[in-house]
């Protein structure tokens, strides 16, 4: 079971409402030992995600969440309280996915997202694209995941027709 902290839901934002450098912060979630093992059992059944004794003798030196579990938790935090994009968070791809350190049982995760680029679509005047770098941090402010998403964002209105 996932539980996230309460987060404020702002009015939906359209492409025109965003600015390069703008930053958004999520609520938080505490990662439990049980959640790590449950996720791993279903989606990434490797010993360092499932068995504490076996994990001690691996590169991780102890139980660690799957990187894909971290991706899923990040998505949940973004949906619950990241940038309030009109129409939802719709990805058109991504780049530069990194896991600089493992997520451990008891870690409290938050996400900080920064707008890197905004551009109206040339072929679809009702939308644009936005690059958003989301850094998932543990309770010590250390990054556990960094990812740049290319998002489809609706425009408030299409360009003026003259």
Q: How much is the pLDDT for 91?
A: 95
Q: What is the pLDDT of residue 1?
A: 35
Residue 55 pLDDT level (bands cut at 50, 70, 90): very high
Task: Write down the pTM of the prediction.
Answer: 0.89
Residue 92 lies in a domain: yes
Say which range, 31-35, 73-77, 135-139, 157-161, has the weakest mean pLDDT: 157-161
Residue 107 covered by a domain:
yes
Predicted confidence at residue 80, as pLDDT, reads 94
C-alpha distances (whole Å) from 147 to each of 24, 71, 133 are 14, 9, 6
Whether residue 101 lies inside any domain: the answer is yes
Give the total number of structural domains in the chain: 1
Mean pLDDT of 20-26: 97
Report the chain's mean pLDDT, rounded to a whole number: 92
With residue 24 as reference, give the H or E element that holds it: strand 23-30
Does the structure show a pLDDT above 70 at 53? Answer: yes
Q: Is 56 within the bounds of a domain?
A: no
The pLDDT tens digits for 103-162 are 999 999 999 999 999 999 999 999 999 999 999 999 999 999 999 999 999 999 755 533
- Report the C-alpha gap between 52 and 33 in whole angstroms: 10
Residue 148 lies in a domain: yes
pLDDT of residue 160: 52
Residue 53, in any domain of the structure = no
pLDDT of residue 159: 53
CATH number reported for the structural domain that contains residue 132 in this entry: 3.10.129.10
- For residue 54, being part of any structural domain is answered with no
Whether pLDDT at 3 is above 80: no
pLDDT for res 157: 74
Is residue 110 included in any domain, yes or no?
yes
Residues 6+ apart with CB under 8 A from 45: none
Residue 4 pLDDT greater than 80, yes or no: no
Distance CA 103, CA 70 (A): 7
Mean pLDDT in residue range 71-100: 96
The residues, any chain, with a CB within 8 Å of residue 27's CB and separated by 6 or more, are: 4, 5, 6, 7, 77, 80, 81, 110
- Could you tell me the residue range of the domain that residue 142 belongs to? 15-31+71-154
């Amino acid at each position: 079971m996932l539980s996230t902290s309460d987060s404020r839901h702002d009015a939906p934002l359209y492409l025109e409402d965003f600015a390069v450098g703008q930053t958004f912060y999520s609520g938080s979630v505490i990662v439990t030992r049980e959640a790590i093992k449950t996720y791993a059992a279903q989606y990434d059944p490797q010993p360092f995600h499932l068995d504490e004794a076996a994990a001690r003798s691996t590169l991780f030196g102890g139980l660690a969440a799957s990187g894909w579990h971290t991706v899923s938790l990040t998505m949940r935090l973004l949906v619950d309280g990241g940038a309030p994009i009109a129409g939802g968070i719709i990805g058109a791809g991504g780049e530069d996915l990194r896991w600089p350190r493992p997520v451990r049982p008891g870690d409290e995760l938050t996400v900080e997202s920064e707008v890197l680029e905004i551009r109206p679509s040339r072929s679809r005047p009702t939308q644009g694209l936005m690059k958003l770098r989301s850094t998932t941090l543990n309770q010590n402010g250390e990054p556990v995941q960094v990812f740049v998403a290319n998002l489809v964002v609706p425009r408030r209105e299409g360009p003026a027709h003259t």
